[in-house]
Structure 1
Amino acid sequence: MLHTSGGPPPDPRKPVIGPLDLAARVDDALAVQAVAFGLTDDEIGVRRHIVQRHMTSPGARALGATLEGGRLVGFVYGMPNDRTQWWSTVVHPYLRQEGHDAWLSDSFVITELHVHPAFQHRGLGRSLITTLTDGAAEPRSLLSAIDTDSPARALYRSLGYQDLARRVMFPSAPNPYAVMGAWLPLPRS
């Protein structure tokens, strides 16, 4: 490919963020998630169906970070919250106990955000989540993350997410989670 923009040619090792047809690329995304989050083959199989179902939800959107040639190295997806969906029904009692159940209304939920470990610490996660939420019509955003001090939680805090409920137990998850919320638009550093 001939580069004619006048500047230096794009770095083929630098991921480009753009819309992602997650239903079509679910296996590529789950491969990234498996490496980043440590999923087993059985967990991947279960999540494949969940992702495909989520992408049929009204307002569901996904972005990917891809290398030249199309290799997916990161992705994020989310949707306007629906109080009848499984995630909301699990976190609702925890949020209600903390006085934050109103956050389940009029919020955009970040369902998954994963970056391949070889591409972490380059700002991809930050770019993915801010770009996705910039397109949200809702005034605030929710997500859940393992309730530990981790790089992911540090990223979310730097973007304005605050703990709304902690020690949230999801069925079949061995570790507790925290539900975090932030007003949109997310701040830039």
Structure 2
Amino acid sequence: MRLPGHAHRRHPDDIVIGPLDLSAHVDEALAVQAVAFGLGPDEVAVRRQIVLRHMTYPGARALGATAAGLLVGFIYGMPNDRGHWWSTVVEPYLRAQGHDDWLDGSFVITELHVHPGYQNRGVGRSLITTITDSALEPRSILSAIDVESPARGLYRSLGYQDLARQVLFPSAPKPYAVMGAPLPLRRR
């Protein structure tokens, strides 16, 4: 699969980071997410509709990571809007910590997933720094499962800090943390 668009960033291991038409490649992306995040077919079907809806929002954009023509990672996000479902869920938690102002002027990382066979190679780091480097907003926010994990370690290394913890999403079995960072993200 060749990604449409302009500049492609070649990565070690011949992984290419570039623009991704996520609506056209939603099934490939969700296959990566299913393996990386342990999703079943019913969850994938629900997320498919969510992704397709998100990609119609103003400013939504996606990047993909390909190796040998196969999608091995992806990220997408958009300028945050307080009217979006995610914002309405996290707002009370952020407000309780004095951080609800982060919902304004932020680029939200909606999803970032890398196939387990390609993790720990800098692919996630390349995806998140590349997408946020083009953001017009002065900061970025995201949510991640609230456990010490490689993902949370990556986010911290980029400058993300916890804004709220133990955030409960209606259908999620585990609590999340909301994290925020000024842009551009910190480099090593």
| Structure 1 portions without partners, runs of 5+ | 1-9
RMSD value, Cα: 1.3
TM-score by length of 2: 0.93
1:119 corresponds to 2:118: yes
Amino acid at match of 1:26: V
Task: Quote how far apart the aligned CAs of 1:187 are.
Answer: 1.1
What is the match of residue 45 of structure 1? Answer: 45
What is the match of residue 75 of structure 1? Answer: 74
TM-score by length of 1: 0.93
What is the match of residue 161 of structure 1? Answer: 160
Task: Quote how far apart the aligned CAs of 1:14 are.
Answer: 2.0
| Structure 2 portions without partners, runs of 5+ | 1-9
**CA deviation digits over 1:90-135, x for unaligned, max 9?**
0000000000000000100000000000000000000000000000
What is the match of residue 7 of structure 2? Answer: none
**Partners of 1:12 and 1:67 within 8 A in 2:** no
What is the match of residue 174 of structure 2? Answer: 175
- In 2, the alpha carbon distance for the partners of 1:12 and 1:93 equals 42
Amino acid at match of 1:20: L
Aligned residues: 179
Task: For residue 148 of structure 1, give the secondary structure of its aligned residue in structure 2.
Answer: coil
For residues 22-171 of structure 1, what are the structure 2 equivalents within 5 Å? 22-68=22-68, 70-171=69-170
- In 2, the alpha carbon distance for the partners of 1:164 and 1:17 equals 29
Please tell me whether Structure 1 or Structure 2 has the larger radius of gyration of its CA atoms.
Answer: 1
Task: For residue 82 of structure 1, give the secondary structure of its aligned residue in structure 2.
Answer: coil
Give percent identity, aligned residues only.
75
Task: Quote how far apart the aligned CAs of 1:11 are.
Answer: 9.2
- In 1, the alpha carbon distance for the partners of 2:72 and 2:134 equals 22
